[in-house]
Structure 1
Amino acid sequence: MDAADQLSVAARHIQNQSEASSLEPHWGYADRVVPCTNDAGSCEYLDNVYWSHDVGMIYMGILWCTIGGILLVWAVSRHLFPEKRADQQLGTSIDGQESPVTAPRHSLARLRQSFDAYRRTYLLPESFRSIFGPTTRLQVLILSVLSGYLIIWTFVGITYKKWITPVKNTPSLFNIRSGLGPFSDRIGVIAYALTPLSVMLSSRESILSLLTGVPYQSFNFLHRWLGYIIVIQGSVHTIGWCVVEIRLYQPQPSTAITWIKQLYMIWGVVAMILLLLLFLLSTKWGIRLTGYETFRKLHYVLAMVYIGACWGHWKQLECFMIPSLAIWLLDRAVRLVRSALIHYQFLPDGSMGFRAAPANIVHFPDHDSGDVVRLDFRHSQEAWNVGQHFYLCFTESSIRQAHPFTPLSYPIVQNGTVLHSYIFRAKSGETKKVAALATTKLNEDRLATTPVILQGPYGESLMENLTPDVNVICVAGGTGITYVLPILLGLIQTAPITNRCVELIWAVRKENDMKWIDQELQILQAAAKSHHLRLRVFVTREEAPASPARTEKANEVTEESKEVGSSASSSVSRERSAPASLEIEVQRLRHDGQNSHPDLKQIVTEFVEGTVRGPTTVYASGPAAMISDLRSIVAACNSGARVWKGESRYDVSLMADDRLEW
């Protein structure tokens, strides 16, 4: 410990360095001067301070052992008790034909399905949305358990006592020393100990995702609320020591002035200011004021400067700051390496180097709701998993920003390349710049293209555990169709499953919005009859005609759609390219000038009740309100008791992509 630290401790704890015979080390704290030569009350107080700190460090070890143990058990359980995969063998029906296994064959599997159904019934819906926003009860429960765990370690092991001690050279003054000091230190130590976990929860190249299989974006809720907890802890720590140094220690104001001028305190003030800025800028008002991209960049920079300020404030706890910085730097390094590898391609001159992907732009003007842009390009890479997304950087507008988009194309490698197709609504920021760029190039009679840099893929595989006995209903709102469309394109590649029900529910604002994916819809129409696929489109902002609903006949697959189909669905062979007998059901919901939305409760419930056998998975993407409704609807469809009795149709799961969280 250097001289500055020694003087700091002397000023705080009235320890006489000149009379010290030795220094007693304490992990995470300043060394203690022994023997104590102060008055009896001060020595007893110092005994309590160092004992409380040592116990607190043990508690932080227990905290991280608990976190590590949970992750270890989770990771091991994933390998010892894996979920049924989609490529598992089909069962055999009584007539000798292949058919999906309709019910668990043994009690353990049935027990697991029943437990999952019970869990969804009670933990899938949302609660206290005004406080926690659109998130499930499961997330709130995890946060509550973590908060309770932290509260226990905050208050146990603290001696709640007061000592009145004399001030040297001033007999008329007394210091009031109490458990407030050790308590403030403890809560500060916990805030430091939680910092690496907060960084891990925010990482895109997530270690937690590797261990648990949970996609990184699912940790956003806990990252946000853990940040709020750290803000509260930092504030209480600061207020506690301000009370001690400004009110309880004497003489004043000289004691307070000497205290605040110390270097470690200057760094502490800087750290607290940065922490409050992080909190204010992360609120919905802060994000609205600065814009999401500005908020994100500021969040990165301020967070790292905050960690550095914490290090400067109390470097004895660098054991928590070093991992935080290392995790952050590793996340950024892996991002850059992955982008470099995915774009390390053959250049036109035959050499190897970094090459952006040239994307064709299709522009769909919409002056009411915001223009829609579609991007299509082929890129040399391995196929990603359905449900994963990429971060796209549009280099002609900004090299410093990347936005997450889910490909609507089914990933198949053909001639060493994979087709990427994306659609998004250009409202503001970079997406609006891309739409303006397309308009400018088209007005100049130039080909509307733009170079794109990819990062990814990220996220979970939606079809990995989609076994043949599972029925599928896809619910999408607007551009959320990109999340569910690859699932349908993937399903029609497999052999038709007897009695499997598959349905698409797509809510759009205008009927012309169907043109976004016109080619893919033709592919689905061609395979609709053989794969028992029902296609339903609900138009929400166009007045209904005299008849409440109409249908569109499936047109014959054109040569253009065949080309797309060869990339998006190679199993749609020529004999299936005849006109489909099924229709796309298009229903307008606007009546008397009032917009309306499809009755998802009725639609999902009727679908589940109409299945012949097997569980159901609901895939959904769209506005937060739609996802919130579906959580409650799917929860109500589950029945653990009926699943235990063999009625597997009441095992209904939800795979949702809430785009407003991004």
Structure 2
Amino acid sequence: MVKTLPSKPQRKAWQHDFPVYLWWAIASLIAFLTFINIARTLVQRHRRRSAISRFNEASEEKNDFASSPPPTSSLAQFPIKVAAVANKTFFWRDVAFKFFFRIPLGELVFTWTYTFVLLLFALLYVPLDVPGSTQRDLALLYSNRCGLLVFSQLPLIVGLASKNNTISVLTGISYEKLNFFHRSASRASLIICWLHVFGRSVAIPLGKDNQIGETHMILGVVAFVSFNLIVILGYKGFLRAFAYEAFLISHIVLALLFLIGASLHWAEFADYVYPAMGLWFLDRFVRLVRVIFFNRFWNIVSKGSSGSRRAVVESVHGGALKLTLQRPMNWNAGQHAYLVCPTVSALPFEAHPFTIASIPSSDKKASTSELVFIVRVHDGFTHRLSELAKSHGGRFEIPCYIDGPYGTVAALDSFHSSVLVAGGSGVTFTLPLAQQLVRQAQLGVSAVRILTFVWIIQSVDHLAWISGELETLRSSCPPSLVLDLKIFVTRSPDVSAEQQLSDDVSIHEEEEVSSEENSPNGSIDEKNEKRKLSASSSLVSDVIKGRPDLEEVLNAVLVDAKGGPVSVNVCGPTSLSVATKRALRAGTGNNVTLSVENFGW
């Protein structure tokens, strides 16, 4: 039987199968992660109920539940040991790319695998070993398939970048963590895009017979150049790290140019572009609805309703600001929100993400809850906000619109022990987690019996950020929960922490007199200072000079847990997460779940 060259319709139909196969692979992966998420949730619920039941029984028998190990079987230990090996091998080990970023080895392997699969689908065998086939035919088929694969990945790339996406809901992976895979998918697709351009250049050499002057080819070049700029500027070592606001604007503009150019360049496959555009606009629409609802824009002409669109800004000792908002919304501990302050921002709709450093009101009858944001003063938006606070005597109100909450934070109430580690302003993430665990312990709905709160700061001045909250946390902690506060001061002078706090209190007392005489809000400043001083002075015993030995801290918790499940949540600079992972790798504990929130974009 003589082989013949497939007809053009046959080749097109055959080529269209490859994106379908690729999407089946992606859908299978999402389904697997969804199954893992559901199974993990069910296990945690069962574990929490069992632990609470055992605690109640131990309380009746007057036993020390916190020191008693939970019952385990060899069968139950097997998946725990497998997970421990996987964590220590892949997820607690980072790979550093100089001048760019560092990522867990597991994520890097996943990225390589995705890129390999994409290349495999792009370069699979094409049956062109037939009479009459030429090198041009081969180049056209390969290049067209590469272009089609790039089109097919656009909905995935845009979907992974959305703050409101279905994948995050199904898998339980927060959108900001999925954003890494958004960038990885974009870079892998760019490689395939280059293969498409190269293949077309081979098939249709540049010259008088090429189509470069035609409109659809010009639009293809626009899309190709835009795609390259998107990826290049998205690397952390470039614009994204040094001027995020400029990067964000350029990212949106270039993405629209790429999507529009691609859809007009190859209109036949624009069906992949339209869902991508739809996902982008849907995300913006959902965010707009959130802003309108939580800021009560329909009451804009009502008297006394302006408070739902304003925020109180206060200067806090230690180079920070405290923003307080009252909003009719609910959120989970550890989530964040975007704040839009048009009178302060360089652009009217400029949104800045900050972690909510409080938990919702426990009063079910309350119509609003207080959202607190502790903002470290840097350049740009926070600097302008700080200057305005100084010009208003340290406290003022501004129009402020909130968009959120966002982020997926795993529940901690099913673990035996919980360790919260924060560096600097990362405490805005760990503080509400601790507050939530204390509240759940009060209600008797948490399995956590040991809570270790580690905060690493450069100066005792930073205690003013949350000193009152820490004091309340300790005083409200029930007997069923052991709370261990450890505050490490890394840049204190060559004196004891107690002496530094004592000197700090004396300085504040002098400032209090000055503010009482000169500040237009003297009475308010006086109350704030007195509250801060009394709290700071009572935290002296929790302050430790120097850097923590995280391995020692974590091993002590693991020993006390005696094989029980332990959660470790870290928020701070990259160096802190690296040190925590190193300490966990060196430790002997297996039943540990690590969650990392790093600074940066």
Aligned mate of 1:83, from 25, 43, 58? 43
Displacement after TM superposition at 1:453 (Å): 0.8
Which digits, 9 at most, give the CA deviation of each residue in 1:385-427, with x for residues without a partner?
1121111111211332111111111222543221111112121
2:192 maps to which of 223, 233, 246: 233
Q: Determine if contact 2:239/2:247 at 8 Å carries over to the other structure.
A: yes
Give, as a single letter, the amino acid of the residue that structure 1 aligns with 2:119.
Answer: I
Query: Of 387, 393, 397, which residue of structure 2 is paired with 1:449?
Result: 397
TM-score under structure 2 length normalisation: 0.83
Q: What is the correspondence of 1:455-470 to structure 2 with a 5 Å cutoff?
A: 455-462=403-410, 464-467=411-414, 469-470=415-416
Rounded Cα–Cα distance in structure 2 between residues aligned with 1:365 and 1:379: 26
Where does structure 2 lack aligned partners over 5 or more consecutive residues? Answer: 506-523, 529-533
Give 1 or 2 for the bigger CA radius of gyration.
Answer: 1
The 8 Å contact of residues 476 and 621 in structure 1, kept in 2 or not, is answered as yes
- Give the distance between the partners of 1:87 and 1:329, measured in 2 at CA: 40
Structure 2 CA distance for partners of 1:638 and 1:116, relative to 1, 3 Å: farther
Percent identical residues: 24
Once the two structures are overlaid, the 10-residue window that deviates more, 418-427 or 136-145, is 136-145
1:655 aligns with 2:601: no
2:341/2:399 contact within 8 Å kept: yes
2:431 aligned partner: 485
Choose the corresponding residue for 2:97, options 119, 127, 130: 130
Which segment drifts farther, 453-462 or 156-165?
156-165
- Where 1:544 maps in the other structure, the secondary structure is coil
Q: Which residue of 1 aligns with 2:512?
A: none
Q: Which structure 1 residue ranges, 5 or more long, are not aligned?
A: 1-42, 166-174, 248-252, 565-576, 590-596, 640-649
Deviation at 1:528, TM superposition (A): 5.8
Structure 1 or 2: larger helix share?
2
Cα distance in 2, alignment partners of residues 142 and 110 from structure 1: 26
The amino acid of 1:458's aligned partner reads Y
Secondary structure at the counterpart of residue 97 of structure 2: helix
- Pick one of 253, 256, 260 that aligns with 1:308: 260
Q: Which residue of 2 aligns with 1:186?
A: 145
Question: Deviation of residue 316 (structure 1)?
Answer: 0.7
* Alpha carbons of structure 1 residues 341 and 354: separation in structure 2 relative to 1, 3 Å: farther
Count of aligned positions? 556
Instruction: Specify the alignment match of 1:155 in structure 2.
Output: 123
> Which is further off, 520-529 or 268-277?
520-529
The 3-state SS of whatever aligns with 1:128 is: strand
Q: CA offsets, 1:507-544, max 9 Å, x none?
A: 11111110011210211232468432121111122223
Conservation of the 8 A alpha-carbon contact between 1:525 and 1:582: no
Q: 1:498 to 1:580 in 2, by over 3 A?
A: farther
**CA separation of 1:123 and 1:49: change in aligned 2, threshold 3 A:** farther
Q: CA deviation at 1:289?
A: 8.4
Partners of 1:619 and 1:355 lie apart in 2 by 34
TM-superposed CA distance for 1:178, in Å, is 4.6
Which of residues 375, 378, 397 in structure 2 aligns to 1:427? 378
In 2, the alpha carbon distance for the partners of 1:152 and 1:145 equals 10
Q: What residue number does 1:586 align with?
A: 543
Q: Does 1:633 align with 2:569?
A: no
Secondary structure in 2 aligned to 1:260? Answer: coil
- Asked if structure 2 preserves the Cα contact closer than 8 Å seen for 1:356 and 1:451, the reply is no
Q: In the alignment, what sits opposite 1:120?
A: 87
Q: Which amino acid aligns with 1:391?
A: Y
Question: Which stretch shows the higher mean deviation, 400-409 or 126-135?
Answer: 126-135
Deviation, structure 1 residue 551:
10
- Work out whether residues 160 and 179 of structure 1, in 8 Å CA contact, stay in contact via their aligned partners in 2: yes
Please report how far the alpha carbon of residue 141 of structure 1 lies from its aligned counterpart in structure 2 after TM superposition: 2.4
Secondary structure of residue in 1 paired with 2:205:
helix
SS at structure 2 position matched to 1:158? coil
Secondary structure at the residue paired with 2:43? coil
Moved more, 288-297 or 137-146: 288-297
The answer as to whether partners of 2:174 and 2:409 remain within 8 angstroms in 1 is no
Q: 1:653 to 1:129 in 2, by over 3 A?
A: same
> Do structure 1's residue 96 and structure 2's residue 66 form an aligned pair?
no
Query: Which position in structure 1 is the counterpart of 2:323?
Result: 375
What are the superposed Cα offsets for residues 454-496 of structure 1, whole Å, 9 maximum, x if unpaired? 111111234x3422x5211111100000100112212222248
CA RMSD for the aligned pairs? Answer: 3.5
Are 2:192 and 1:219 aligned? Answer: no
Q: Does the CA contact (< 8 Å) of 2:143 and 2:196 recur in 1? A: yes
* 2:421 pairs with one of 475, 485, 491: 475
- Asked if 1:362 corresponds to 2:314, the answer is yes
Shift of 1:284: 3.1
CA distance in 2, matches of 1:581, 1:365: 17
Q: Does the Cα contact within 8 Å between 1:164 and 1:176 map onto a contact in 2?
A: no
Q: 1:255 aligns with which of 186, 204, 209?
A: 209
Query: What's the CA shift string for 1:591-641, capped at 9, x where partnerless?
Result: xxxxxx3322232223322435522111110001211222232244365xx
Q: 1:326 to 1:514 in 2, by over 3 A?
A: same
Say whether the 8 Å CA contact 1:206–1:216 is kept in structure 2. yes
Alignment match, 1:177:
136
SS of match in other structure, 1:129: strand
One-letter amino acid of the structure 2 residue matched with residue 126 of structure 1? R
Counterpart AA for 1:587? I
Aligned partner of 1:210 in structure 2 is 169
2:114 partner letter = L
**CA distance change for structure 1 residues 268 and 349 in 2, over 3 Å: closer, same or farther?**
closer
Contact 1:347 1:355 in 2 (8 A): no
Change (3 A) 1:205 1:315: same
1:404 corresponds to: 353
- What TM-score comes out, normalization by structure 1 length? 0.76
Q: Per-residue deviation at 1:358?
A: 2.4
When residues 295 and 579 of structure 1 are mapped into structure 2, their CA distance, relative to the original with a 3 A threshold, is closer
CA, structure 1 residues 336+156, in 2 after alignment: closer, same or farther (shift >3 Å)?
same
Q: Please say if residues 190 and 227 of structure 2, whose CA atoms lie closer than 8 Å, have aligned partners that are also in contact.
A: yes
| Structure 1 residues 176 and 215: alpha-carbon distance in aligned structure 2, compared to 1, 3 A threshold | closer
